[in-house]
Structure 1
């Protein structure tokens, strides 16, 4: 029998789920020596369109200095390369190398297997995506 718990807020429940999912994903990526942040960067770059550092930081949920260190390591490991943006030479875009694409495909299989273990994850992912979009569209309110 489970101990009685007070009702949890939506924010608390989502945080608990995020912590548990992150721990499981970390364990799924661990055999390949990959971090969740590396996975997120490779995942975004897998579209072969090239992305700016600010796009990568937003998608990977990293601050710019941390992302820069990660991308530097991925460049050193020949998984990612950088090129000046064709339209704005002041900006840099990152792309996967062929080796990076291979690593992405390997990790994608790990992540897909991890997500397949979660019953109903497809429907839940859609709902969470809708919730994220809804939160982005609504102005933030401040408590008084």
Structure 2
């Protein structure tokens, strides 16, 4: 038993199980619209922040560069995104959402909304608390386990 009284293995197992369940449900909802979770993540970032360098997109979408490049090629071919050289550093490539991409994203967001609502219904008011805890865990783990204060 951990000092907190919670079994660490159970915590990790539950966290992993919830992530897998939500990812599967989101992916199923998006597949019904001809998309996947990686495409949704990419377009969500581009719609929120405008054109971004490939490395930023890879980090946000949690993808390795070779897989991202293949998906970006497909999304360019489908006219969901544009790829252009970075104006400040011609060695870098930036991608941005097209109008068609923004329309697709609106449809995909509606498909994902039901999954998000199910999570909110399951957690009630605790959804904000969970989000804050996950942000804190993410930041702490990204810093090598250094605790992060609220």
Which TM-score applies when normalising by structure 1?
0.84
Alpha-carbon offset, residue 84 of structure 1 = 1.1
Pairing of 1:9-88 with structure 2 (within 5 A): 9-88=10-89
Aligned residue pair count: 134
Q: Which residue of 2 aligns with 1:130?
A: 136
- Does structure 1 conserve the Cα–Cα contact (< 8 Å) formed by 2:85 and 2:92? yes
Q: Matched residues in 1 for 2:77 and 2:129: separation?
A: 38
- The structure with the largest helix share of the pair is 2
Q: Matched residues in 1 for 2:132 and 2:92: separation?
A: 33
Alpha-carbon offset, residue 99 of structure 1 = 0.3
Q: Matched residues in 2 for 1:139 and 1:33: separation?
A: 39
- Does structure 2 conserve the Cα–Cα contact (< 8 Å) formed by 1:48 and 1:95? no
Alpha-carbon offset, residue 48 of structure 1 = 4.6
Alpha-carbon offset, residue 139 of structure 1 = 5.1
Go from structure 1 to structure 2 and tell me whether the alpha carbon gap of 1:76 and 1:35 turns closer, same or farther (over 3 Å shift). Answer: same
2:117 is the counterpart of 1:116: yes
- Does structure 2 conserve the Cα–Cα contact (< 8 Å) formed by 1:52 and 1:93? yes
Alpha-carbon offset, residue 10 of structure 1 = 2.7
Q: Matched residues in 2 for 1:122 and 1:78: separation?
A: 36
2:95 is the counterpart of 1:89: no
Alpha-carbon offset, residue 38 of structure 1 = 0.8
Q: Matched residues in 1 for 2:36 and 2:28: separation?
A: 9
The DSSP-based 3-state class of the residue aligned with 1:81 is: strand
Runs (4+) of structure 1 exceeding 3 A deviation are none
5+ residue gaps, structure 2, are: 1-6
5+ residue gaps, structure 1, are: 1-6
- Does structure 1 conserve the Cα–Cα contact (< 8 Å) formed by 2:22 and 2:115? no
